[in-house]
Each structure stands twice: as structure tokens, then as C-alpha cells.
Amino acid sequence: MTNYKNVKYNFPAVTLSGATEGSPAEGDIWYDSGKFYLGTSQSFAGSWSSGGNLATARYYLAGCGTQSAGLCMGGSTGSVSNVTEEYDGSAWSSGGNLGTARYALAGAGTQSAGLCMGGSDSGGSDSAVTEEYDGSAWSSGGDLGTVRYRTGGAGTQSAALCMGGLTSAQSLTEEYNGTSWSSGGDLGTARYGPAGAGTQSAGLCMGGFATAYSTSTEEYDGTSWSAGGSLATARSNLAGAGTQAAGLCMGGYGPVAITNVTEEYDGSAWSSGGNLATARERPAGAGTKAVGLCMGGYTGSNSAVTEEYNAGTGSYDELFTPSQGL
């Protein structure tokens, strides 16, 4: 009998021979690149680590971009802020100020092609203002059709979504084409303070508050919303990142307290991710399920904390190659 080596490896939770993200599970055997493998552990939840602090501590800010090229804008320091900061994967630096200072706004896009919409301005009025970022400065975009704040945002500068929010709890969805907003399909559950992720044609909306803290997740197909898998932890004022098929949400406020809970979405169900080191509500999110970013928020005081999320690892054993025989 051949004496096979038991060699341990670590791997990120990525696709292997058609397996979905988060698999293979413990006990699974699969074939990849000419060899057979056995899954020996199932510890695929990601974890957060410390990133560089924001220069301006704030909450109710908006975010977009990636872990290595993030963008955050607006928010509240106790006063309404117009501050924009850019992240390079380790530190934040100053970007161009918003034309209209506001908090509880939503974001979409990238560091070099960002978008923000809605919010509440320094006069305390709900806003329809949309601004576009070119990597150095903000310029005016088309106003939202409905003024509101505490919305969710997703998509790109030229194909964005804005969903939910407050004047009263809203089910409204609007779609941006790079110039103007138009009406999209209403959410099934009206709410404010949700998180958004994904794209205009494959959007994700999760959590929020209407008559109670919500576990509701909805998926957008470019026309209408349908029910997705419920969050394990009901909450509002959370942050989101990723895509409809691979989503991430973190933080927020649940029925009794500010939370550090992180959940990962696989396109149908949520599972536990690694907890934030700093529990907070009203932060901003960016990046992906595998490589995420969470910045700012409120812990009982304004937070400058940035944390970076990285996909979990599992271990597996190499069994044999077909050429070795059994």
C-alpha cells in the first residue's frame, strides 16, 4: 500500500472546481488540478483586523470603493460634515470636500468614480442632492426624485441604486443612470437605516427599521425586489459591502444595543462572520465579502476606527494523485 503524506494547507474561501464560496466543508472530498483532497476543518468565517484611523471621527457617513482604494464622505461629528477621505489600504488622506455637507447619506461607486445621494443637511432638512466624485473633486449630479435620508446605496456612479430611507419609512427605490434618477421597483418592506450592496441589476438590501428592527433581506433584479434569506441578527444602522451573491454586513443597532455582529451572504442565506473588534452603529462599508472595509460610526462617541475584513481559511489534506493509484 502506498504511504501517502498528510500535508496541511491553508486556503481562502474561494471557488475550487466549481465549489461555491464557503465550501468545501469538513469531510468533503474533491478533485482539483490533478489531485484529490479531503476537507479536514470548516472554519471559513472571515476576521477583522485594524486599519488606519480616519482623520475625522464621525458617524452616519457614506462609503464606497475597495479595501485598498476606499472612499468615505460626509457624516456627523456633532456638526454636519463635508469631509471626504481616501484610503490606500493602510492610511486615510484628505480628498475633495462635498459641495453640500450632510449626514445619513448613501454611497456607491469607486474611489475615482464615487457617488453620494440624499442625507440631511446642516439646516436639518432632508436632501435630494446627488454628487459625483472624479478622484479629487465633487460635482453636482441629478437630484433624487424624493428627498430622504438614512437610505441604502449600491452600484456605480453611472448605474446606482438608492433604496428605502426616511421622510417616513420608505419603500421607494430609485435608479441613477449617471445623469438623473428614475423610479425603480418598491421594496417589499418599507424601512429606514438599511444597508445596501451589489449593483443596479443585482442589488441587495438588508436590515433597517420600520415598526421594529428588521432581519429582512431583499434582492433586486433591475426591476423588482424579491425576498432573500433573513439576517440572523435584526438591526438597523448597519453597513454593507459585496454583491448579491456574496454580501457582507456589519455593525448596527439591534433591539437592545450597538452590535459588532458580521454576517456573510451566499446568495440565499446569511451565516456568521467574524465579529468587529469595535462594536458600532452608523458606520460606512466598502469592498467585498472576501476583502471588506468598515470605517467610522458611533460607539457612544464618534469613532475614527477602520477595520479590514479578510475571508476565512480552512484546512485540507492532499490525499493522492490518480497516477499514484490506490
Structural domain harbouring 238: 50-310
Q: Provide the pairing of β-strand 29-32 with 284-287.
A: unpaired
Q: Which residue, 80, 13, 75, 85, is CA-closest to 51?
A: 85
Handedness of CA 248, 71, 282, 213 (dihedral sign): negative
Q: Residue 152 forms beta bridges with which residues?
A: 163
Statement to judge: residues 12 and 113 lie in one domain: no
Is 192 inside a domain boundary?
A: yes
Statement to judge: residues 15 and 89 lie in one domain: no
Statement to judge: residues 317 and 183 lie in one domain: no
Is 300 inside a domain boundary?
A: yes
Statement to judge: residues 29 and 155 lie in one domain: no
- Reported as a single tens digit per residue, the pLDDT across 63-103 is 999 999 999 999 999 999 999 999 999 999 999 999 999 99
Residue-level pLDDT at 35: 63
Statement to judge: residues 228 and 317 lie in one domain: no
Is 1 inside a domain boundary?
A: no
Is 113 inside a domain boundary?
A: yes
Residue-level pLDDT at 326: 46
Statement to judge: residues 231 and 246 lie in one domain: yes
- Reported as a single tens digit per residue, the pLDDT across 230-260 is 999 999 999 999 999 999 999 999 999 999 9
Evaluate if residue 6 carries a pLDDT over 70. Answer: no
Is 3 inside a domain boundary?
A: no
Average pLDDT over residues 187-199: 97
Residue-level pLDDT at 167: 86
Residue-level pLDDT at 173: 98
Domain count, the chain: 2
Statement to judge: residues 131 and 193 lie in one domain: yes
Is 74 inside a domain boundary?
A: yes
Statement to judge: residues 39 and 88 lie in one domain: no
Statement to judge: residues 112 and 185 lie in one domain: yes
Is 212 inside a domain boundary?
A: yes
Statement to judge: residues 128 and 81 lie in one domain: yes
**CATH number of 73's domain:** 2.120.10.80
Statement to judge: residues 320 and 267 lie in one domain: no
Evaluate if residue 20 carries a pLDDT over 80. Answer: no
Q: What is the CA radius of gyration of the chain?
A: 21
Go through 196-209 and write b for each residue having 16 or more CB atoms within 10 A of its CB, e for each that does not. Answer: bbbbbebbbbbbbb
pTM (2 decimals)? 0.84
Mean pLDDT for the chain overall: 89
Q: Provide the pairing of β-strand 270-272 with 92-94.
A: unpaired
Q: Which residue, 266, 217, 314, 243, is CA-closest to 20?
A: 266
Backbone angles phi, psi at 323, to 5 degrees: -65, -20
Q: Is 128 exposed, middle or buried (0-12, 13-18, 19+ CB in 10 A)?
A: middle
Is 320 inside a domain boundary?
A: yes
Statement to judge: residues 150 and 177 lie in one domain: yes
- Reported as a single tens digit per residue, the pLDDT across 257-294 is 999 999 999 999 999 999 999 999 999 999 999 999 99
